[in-house]
A = this chain, B = another copy of it.
Amino acid sequence: MGWKVDELHKLLNPSSVVVVGASRKPGKVGHSIFKNLLESKVRVYPVNSQAEEVLGVKCYPSVLNLPEVPDLAVIVVPRLSVPQVMEDCGKKGIKYAVIITAGFKEIGEKGAWLEEEVVEVAKRYGIRFIGPNCLGVINAVAGINASFAPEPPLPGKIAFISQSGALATSILDWSVEQGVGFSKFISIGNKADVDEVDLLKELKDDPDTGVILLYIESITRGPEFIETAYEVSKTKPIIVLRLGTSEAGARAVSSHTGSLAGSEAAYSSAFKQSNVIRVGSVEELFDLAMAFATQPLPSLEKGVAIVTNAGGPGIAATDACSKLGLELASFSSATVDRLRQRLPKKVQVRNPLDLIGDAEAERYRSAFEELIEDESVGGLLVILTPQDVTEPEKTATYLAEVAKRGGKPVVACWMGGKMVREGIEILKKHGIPNYATPERAAYSLYGLYLYARLRQKAVGKTRKPPEIEIDEESIRKIIQLVRSVGRQNLLETEAIEILRACGIPTPRGGLAHDLDEAMKIAEEIRYPLVMKLVSPQIVHKSDIGAVRVGIESPREVEDAFAILKWRTEAYAPFAEVIGVLVQEMVMGGKEVVAGMYRDPCFGPVIMFGLGGIYIEAVRDVSFRVAPLTREDAEEMVREIKMYKILRGFRGEPPSDISSIVDVLLRLSTLSTRFAEILEIDINPLIVLPEGRGCVAVDARMRLSPE
C-alpha cells in the first residue's frame, strides 16, 4: 500500500503546541482551547499580537517569534488571516496544524476559494492539517486536549473520527456520563487535507486503539477509502455511520458540507467492499463500540446462549438474534445434564434458558458456569429483570467472574431503572457492556460475529482485481470514430463492438445497409434471427417497434426489413438510418442486465440485475465500485433477491453464473481504463444454462463530452 507509517503520529501525539489566536476572554474558542491545552501534558505557547499573556503564560506576537518549533499549531484566528498564519507556520518549520476556524467551503463558493488558498500554502510547506471548521483533536490516553470541547473524554480503546463537530460534542458529553472511554477523538471538519483515509492509516497500528468509529457525511477519495479500510479492518473493526442515505437527507448533506454527495448505491457498495461494519444510527454506533472495546470475538461456528429470568425479554432476544441471522447454540448433552442437576426441576433446559422469575444469583451462576464452558456456545446474552427475589448486583458479580474465564463475548441486559442501577455499575466496572433492551444486546453480539466473519474472510487476502486482457487499441479506435462525428451516444453496433473487444460474447451477425446485405448476413448465421434498426436518433428502439424477433426464413427477413423501413418513416421521420442489425436470436436463456455509471466520489460503479418486466418493477439490482475483485463480482450476482432463479429454481437448469462474473469483471476493466465512457448498459445480457456462457444481445454506451 506504500503509505508512510506514523506519518501523522506527531499530529496526534505532539509534545509542544502553539495556539494561534489564543484568547484571554473566557467563552471565546481561542480561550477554551488554550485552557484545555494548558491542562494537557504538553508544552503550550499562546500566539496573540494583542496580548502580553494568556492565563499567565507569556504571549508571542507571531509563530515566528516562538522559542522552539512546536510539533503542532492550533489555529483559531479569523478566517481571512488563516492563509498568512499557515505561511508563518511553514516558515517556522511547523509540520502539523489543526484549523478550528470556520467559514470555508461549508459556506459556499467564496469560502471554498479561501480554503484552496490554505491548501496551497500547506502544500508549499509540506504542512499536514486537520480542518478547517472543526472541533479539534483529543488524545485521551496521552491526556492531550487540542479542542474546544468543554470536558475531555475518558481514556479508553475507542477512536472516534467525526465529520460533524456538533455531533462530537453531544457524544463527548454522553460518553462521560456512560463511562465510555476513547483513545483518540478527532473532529475532521471540512477535511481539506487530512481525511478519514489518512487517519485510518495512522490508527491502524495505534496500540491505544482497539476499534475505530467513523461518522462521515461524504467520502472524497472513494477507491482509496475502500483499499485502506479493507487493510485496516484486518486488524481492527471499523464501524461506520453515514447519514444522508435518503434523498432529502442527501440534499441536507450537500448543503451542510458543501460537497457533492455520491449515490447511496456507491456508498453501500464501498462499505461492503471495504469490510467495514455499517450501522444506521448513533445509538448502534456506540452499542457496537462498547462491545468491541470490551469483548473478545466469538468463534464463528458457535451459537449464542440466552439466559433470562423473564420469558418475554428472552423471546425478544431470540427474535432479534434470528432477524440478525445469529444462530442460537444447541447446548451439548453434557451441559444439559449438568444444568438439569444444578437447576430446579421447573426450569426447562433449552435455549433461550428461562431461569424463571424467582431465580436468585446462585441459579444464574449455575447457568453461567455451565454455558461458558459449553463447546457449542460462542457468546452469552444475559437478561435480568428485577423481580421479588432477584439479586441484580450479586448476579452481575457472578457474571463478571465467569466472563473472565471464558474468552467468549458476554453482553448484558439488566432491564429497569433504580432497582438494577447498582448491578449495571458492577457490570460496567468489569467491562461487560449493558444494554437497555434485549434487542440492542443482540445487535451488539451480532456486530462481534459479523466482524469475526469479515476478518476471517479477509485473512491473508488483498483486494486484487484480476488482470484481464482487453483489446484497447480497437476500443480506442471506435471511441475516436464516434467523437470524430461529434456524437456522445454510441450506436448499438458500436457498443457491441466495444464489448466484443473486451472479450464479452456478443451475438453473431452484422450491420446491413440494404436488403441484399441483410439476406447475405442471414444466410451466414442460423435462423431464427433478430433484426433491429440502427440510428443515432433512436435510442429506445422498442418504443417505435424497431426490433423484430423470431425471424425464421428469407421471406420473413424481407418482410421485417420492409416493416422496419415503414415504421421508421411513419414514427421517426427525422431519424438518420445507418442500417439494420441482423443477429442470431439467442434462445433458452435468462435475461439479466449489467452496466456501469460514474459516481462523483467513487468513480465507476458496476451494476447487475435480473432483466424483464417483473424485475424492473422490484428494482432487483446490485452494485459494486470498480475495480472489482472476483469476489466482488461473485457477491454481486449472489446479492440480488432473485438469485435462486439463476441457481436453478423448480427444476430449471442452473444458469452459467461464472460467465456473468466474467462479464462484470470485463466491464470493470473497461470502465477503469476508459474514463471517457460515462455509462454502459447491457440489456439484456442473455445467460444460458451452465457451461454455455452468456451473450450481450443489446447494449448502449455514452461518452463524456470531449
Contact = CB atoms under 8 A, between A and B. Distances in A.
B613 A252 contact: no
Nearest to A107: B346
Q: Which 7 A-B pairs have the closest CB atoms?
A: A166-B310, A177-B417, A164-B312, A246-B322, A173-B416, A170-B415, A256-B311
Given A166-B310, A248-B328, A618-B641, 12 more contacts: A107-B346, A166-B385, A166-B387, A169-B385, A170-B313, A170-B415, A244-B315, A246-B322, A248-B319, A249-B319, A255-B350, A614-B615
Given A27-B389, A312-B163, A418 B618 contact: no
A50 interface: no
Interface stretch (A113-121, A643-651, A675-683): A643-651
Interface string A666-695: 000000000000000000000000000000
A388 B313 contact: no
A642 interface: yes
Given A217-B311, A313-B170, A176 B417 contact: yes
Interface of A: 27, 29, 32, 107, 148, 150, 162-167, 169-178, 215, 217, 243-249, 252-253, 255-257, 280-283, 309-316, 318-319, 321-323, 328, 346, 348, 350, 352, 354, 357, 385-389, 415-420, 436-440, 610, 612-618, 620, 641-642, 644-645, 649-650, 652
30 contacts: A150-B388, A162-B312, A163-B312, A164-B313, A166-B310, A167-B312, A167-B415, A169-B416, A172-B416, A176-B417, A177-B417, A217-B312, A243-B316, A244-B315, A246-B318, A248-B328, A249-B319, A252-B352, A253-B315, A256-B314, A256-B354, A257-B311, A281-B316, A283-B439, A613-B645, A613-B652, A617-B642, A617-B644, A617-B649, A618-B641
A313 B283 CA distance: 12
Given A310-B170, A312-B164, A419 B150 contact: yes
Given A170-B385, A439-B281, A613-B645, A244 B319 contact: yes
B645 A256 contact: no
A282 B441 CA distance: 13
Given A246-B318, A417-B175, A616-B650, A283 B436 contact: yes
Contact of A312 (B166, B315, B644): B166
Contact of A166 (B281, B309, B439): B309
B386 A173 contact: yes
Contact of A618 (B256, B387, B618): B618
Given A27-B389, A283-B436, A613-B650, A357 B166 contact: yes
